[in-house]
């Protein structure tokens, strides 16, 4: 009798994880659509002054090479997705913060922030375990006040370019893109 309950609970757990993954993939697909080249070019380059940069912490620039290096250190895909979500949402938030409300890119940046918030809520449903120490340390470094001096000037479009490249690396296989 108890084995039957265990089997039913296991099937339900698998279904919950799969439906969560579908929501995650749908949101990632929406993000990919919002981060199309034409939109990034228009909203993050053409609508900004020539040479405009945003000040971000050095660790807030997440490139595909960083992900490859962490994969070689056998960091789990879930932890890498957590890192990408955290770093990219912070980058979009920094861009959104510098924009006045009447700026042509303000609404676009706000929509990106909303998509990242929704994706964060999707992940929070089943992220109950601790992420790898390497990723947790990187997230702590981003939030530490001592990192204020280690700033880097980055073009807004470059931040979103890296965001999209890393997202494609991390979601290509699980979302079957």
CA distances from 81 to 41, 120, 135, 146, 164 (A): 25, 10, 10, 25, 12
Contact 164, 108 (CB under 8 A): no
The reported pLDDT for the residue numbered 135 is 81
Please provide the distance, in angstroms rounded to a whole number, between the alpha carbons at the two ends of the chain.
Answer: 42
In a domain, 9, yes or no: no
The reported pLDDT for the residue numbered 92 is 94
In a domain, 5, yes or no: no
Name which of 125, 110, 37 is nearest 78 in CA terms. Answer: 125
pTM value is: 0.79
CATH of the domain at 86: 1.20.1250.80
Q: How many domains does the chain have?
A: 1
In a domain, 13, yes or no: no
In a domain, 142, yes or no: yes
The reported pLDDT for the residue numbered 112 is 96
The reported pLDDT for the residue numbered 56 is 86
The reported pLDDT for the residue numbered 125 is 64
In a domain, 144, yes or no: yes
In a domain, 89, yes or no: yes
Beta bridge partner(s), residue 152 = 56
Number of C-beta neighbours around residue 45 at 10 A: 16
> Using alpha carbons only, how large is the chain's radius of gyration in Å?
18
Contact 24, 122 (CB under 8 A): yes
In a domain, 139, yes or no: yes
In a domain, 156, yes or no: yes
**Mean pLDDT, the chain cut into blocks of 10 residues (177 residues total):** 42 39 81 95 94 87 92 88 90 93 95 93 66 76 63 93 96 85
The reported pLDDT for the residue numbered 76 is 87
Domain around 58: 23-172
């Amino acid at each position: 009798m108890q084995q039957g309950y265990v089997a039913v609970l296991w099937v339900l757990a698998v279904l919950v994880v799969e439906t969560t993954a579908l929501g995650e993939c749908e949101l990632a697909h929406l993000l990919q659509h919002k981060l199309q080249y034409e939109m990034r070019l228009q909203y993050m380059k053409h609508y900004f002054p020539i040479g405009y940069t945003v000040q971000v912490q050095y660790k807030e620039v997440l490139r595909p090479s960083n992900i490859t290096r962490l994969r070689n250190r056998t960091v789990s895909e879930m932890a890498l997705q957590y890192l990408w979500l955290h770093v990219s949402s912070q980058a979009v938030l920094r861009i959104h913060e510098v924009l006045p409300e009447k700026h042509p890119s303000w609404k676009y940046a706000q929509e990106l922030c909303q998509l990242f918030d929704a994706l964060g809520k999707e992940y929070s449903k089943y992220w109950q375990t601790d992420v790898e120490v390497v990723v947790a340390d990187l997230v702590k470094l981003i939030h530490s006040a001592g990192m204020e001096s280690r700033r880097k000037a980055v073009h807004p479009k470059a931040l979103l370019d890296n965001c999209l490249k890393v997202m494609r690396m991390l979601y290509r296989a699980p979302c079957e893109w």
